[in-house]
Amino acid sequence: MDFRDVSLTALRVFRAVAEQGTFTAAAVSLGYTQSAVSRQIASIERAAGVKLLERRREGVRLTAVGHLVLRRATAALDQIDSAARELSGLPDQGGTVRVGWVPSVGAALLPRAVAALRTTHPAITVTSREGTTAALVRALRSGGIDLALLSSAPPFRPLDTESPPLVSRTLTERGLRLAVPASHPMARRDYVDIADLRGQRWIAAPPSGEDRLMGVWPGLDERPEIVHTTRDWLAKLSLVAAGCGLTTVGASLAPAAPEGVRILPVRGGPREQRRLVLARLPDPPEEAAVRVAEALRAAAVEEADAPL
């Protein structure tokens, strides 16, 4: 089989696997069976004459040739989609920018930037999707999103080890904060001493390889008592407001805190800094993406200057 005979379906499946990181997740996103995804990947690798994906226990990783095929496949599929829109009489979508964001930084920042764009650049359409850092980096690599709004913690390593490196820009760097119930004795202070965190109850995300114990203050010298687990930040803060425990929050999430929650800095011990990072592929961005990036930077600066 010649690679020029590869079907569009195979290209779309390959892109989905590269973006989602596993055959199972790609099958769910496409509405296919896992066996159908496996057959399509087998067909495109047979046509290429080499392996395009490395199968690992935790998922798949693109080979060097796989990266080449992904870039070409994404460009070809974008052209096909553009032609389909024109044939359907739909307006050109060049003004659409796809933004990925992690909830800990984007929940308050992204709406502010989108609202500003409606005034300054009303022709630009912003679509967004929430995800983990790993999932959004894969989406950037596969062409599924144009920009990713991410959080980075010390020692501030590169977002991934693939080549070419992603272009990332630090928008702000601020200390991690603590969310406490307004009824808690600590809420009457201007800050929390790290020694006061011993023996507290915590609201955290379910353990995972990427976000282990997110919600518990880092470096505690005791086994934390986790009483509630959820990945949803609004649910975490609502549980804090109800007096169910404490949780950590990035400073950028402070404006979204509901009534009954105080956001406080923690003193003592190592400084827990968090960077707000905007990432994209190294290719020159479209003009609309540049404008969205500028709006996100402006919203981040405005947020950083606002009192907590």
pLDDT digits (tens, 9 = 90+) for 172-193: 888 889 999 999 999 999 999 9
pLDDT of the residue at 229: 92
**What value does the mean pLDDT take over residues 145-158?**
88
213 pLDDT exceeds 70?
no
135 pLDDT exceeds 60?
yes
pLDDT of the residue at 304: 66
pLDDT of the residue at 305: 56
pLDDT single digits (tens) 45-88: 999 999 999 988 878 888 889 888 988 888 788 788 777 766 76
* Residue % of the chain over a pLDDT of 70: 93
pLDDT of the residue at 153: 81
pLDDT single digits (tens) 265-299: 999 877 788 888 999 998 888 888 989 999 998 88
Write down the pTM of the prediction: 0.69
pLDDT of the residue at 234: 86
pLDDT of the residue at 186: 93
pLDDT of the residue at 5: 86
**What value does the mean pLDDT take over residues 188-210?**
86
194 pLDDT exceeds 80?
yes
Band of residue 242 on the pLDDT scale cut at 50, 70, 90 = very high
Work out the mean pLDDT of the chain and round it to a whole number. 86
* CA 283 centroid distance within chain: 20
